[in-house]
Amino acid sequence: MPKEKIIVLMGSPRDLSFASRIKDFLKAEKFPITCIYNVASAHRTPQKLLKNLQEYEDSGGNIVYITVAGLSDALSGVVAGYTKYPVIACPPDSEKYGGAKIFSSTAMPRGIPVAYVSKPENAALAAVRILALSNPVLNESLDRFKQKMEKSVYEGAEEVKKISENKK
């Protein structure tokens, strides 16, 4: 069975505190996926970026790229233009720039798909779902996660019901 990897590419080391939430989520939810971090700027170090991408492409296995880059977010488009694998843009400045950020990350030419997910935890989960298409172990992990989420809602509903009954 191929080895699955999430490659988190950051435009700057300053993005690490935001991007680290991806691996933290995977670990907390016990998703058995390798998560690799790297810094390469599409603007400042395009040769490094392309060299790194070629190494990832040659490494085998299934990959989902999560790009974490602010401002113009050229990183997502360059990665999507280079690879055959899915690219998820998860910019650290989404809340600050709103709609302009969505446009900057996703307005790509035909044939250069970039998905946009604003929260690192959801970007990680989207990547897991993509990789689970070819991995039954990840499917089982997703089932456990879904059950955990459902359980928390039911428990929360019971708690609210008790509180509202006590106020009568």
Contacts of 85 (CB under 8 A, 6+ apart): 57, 62, 63, 64, 65
> 63 lies in which domain range?
4-166
Total domains, the chain: 1
What angle (nearest 5°) sits at the alpha carbon of residue 165, between those of residues 161 and 168? 150
Domain CATH code at residue 44: 3.40.50.1970
Complete DSSP assignment for 101-132: HHHHHH---TT---EE-SSHHHHHHHHHHHHH
Q: How far is 98 from 110, CA to CA, in rounded Å? A: 23
pLDDT in tens, 124-151: 999 999 999 999 999 999 999 999 999 9
* Residue 50 identity (one-letter amino acid): L
- Chain segment 5-50, per-residue pLDDT in tens: 999 999 999 999 999 999 999 999 999 999 999 999 999 999 999 9
- Angle between helix axes 74-82 and 46-58 (nearest 10 degrees) is 40
DSSP for 32-57, please give it.
--EEEEEE--TTT-HHHHHHHHHHHH
Q: What is the pLDDT of residue 2?
A: 53
Q: Which tokens is 17 given?
A: 């505190």
Average pLDDT, the chain: 94
Confidence of residue 1 (pLDDT cuts 50, 70, 90): very low
